Chain A
Amino acid sequence: DTGVSQNPRHKITKRGQNVTFRCDPISEHNRLYWYRQTLGQGPEFLTYFQNEAQLEKSRLLSDRFSAERPKGSFSTLEIQRTEQGDSAMYLCASSLGVGVQPQHFGDGTRLSIL
């Protein structure tokens, strides 16, 4: 069990640029989640995959955000035309796909918009 891995750890970009984050879940986990955490707040749910299928999306996931999990393993989260308000920690979590299993979180990717 190597844990959930997220890359990069930090991303600094100018407003208007596109960014992409990667998440590698724990190998046997077929559920994968993305959350966003801003300073002083708890994580907020963005989206959820079961294998390669995106089954749930939050209203927070505007049309500038897109998430994929093409082969049911790693996932990417892309933000197009970044805005100041996108500055946050983006957390990925994974869990087993049977019943209600605990979600295991990665270290997150901290996004800073200049």
Chain B
Amino acid sequence: AQTVTQSQPEMSVQEAETVTLSCTYDTSESDYYLFWYKQPPSRQMILVIRQEAYKQQNATENRFSVNFQKAAKSFSLKISDSQLGDAAMYFCAYRGAQGGSEKLVFGKGTKLTVNP
């Protein structure tokens, strides 16, 4: 079974600074998808960024970028120019591309605090 591990329960960053959230995963599949979701307090979960495993190029969405290391099974999220609105729980998620499963497997999350 696939597992996702987020080793940082909490992180903090100063406004306008850069922070990196870590995620590792375990799978025997060769093709899969990885996601970062953001869950603000008492609000719905929002997709931040996605990465297809077959793509070598790291995904980027504005201030958000990933460092995808397939061999190391690592998928970290970098937030540049942090803003107060970035404060939230961040979840790393895995979805296999084989076997027809649609489920997302989530890590336990990292709580990000942004200090003014």
Residues on A facing B (Cβ under 8 Å): 3-4, 31, 33, 35, 40-45, 48, 55-56, 58, 91, 93, 100, 102-108
Please measure, in the bound complex, the distance between the C-alpha atom of A56 and the C-alpha atom of B102, giving whole angstroms. 8
A-B contact count (CB 8 A): 55
Q: Indicate if the CB atoms of B106 and A42 lie closer than 8 Å.
A: yes
Please name 13 further chain A to chain B contacts, defined as beta carbons within 8 Å, in addition to the given A42-B93, A42-B107, sorted by A numbering: A3-B44, A4-B44, A35-B104, A40-B108, A40-B109, A41-B108, A42-B91, A43-B104, A44-B106, A55-B100, A56-B100, A91-B45, A107-B44
State the Cβ distance, B33 to closest chain A Cβ, in Å.
6
- The total of chain B residues at the interface (CB under 8 A) is 25
Q: Is B105 an interface residue (CB 8 A)?
A: yes
Chain B, 5-24, contact with A by CB distance < 8 Å: what is the 0/1 string?
Answer: 00000000000000000000
Q: Is B101 an interface residue (CB 8 A)?
A: yes
A to B CB contacts below 8 Å, 14 in the list: A31-B102, A33-B102, A42-B4, A42-B93, A42-B107, A42-B108, A45-B105, A55-B102, A91-B45, A100-B52, A103-B47, A105-B46, A106-B44, A108-B44
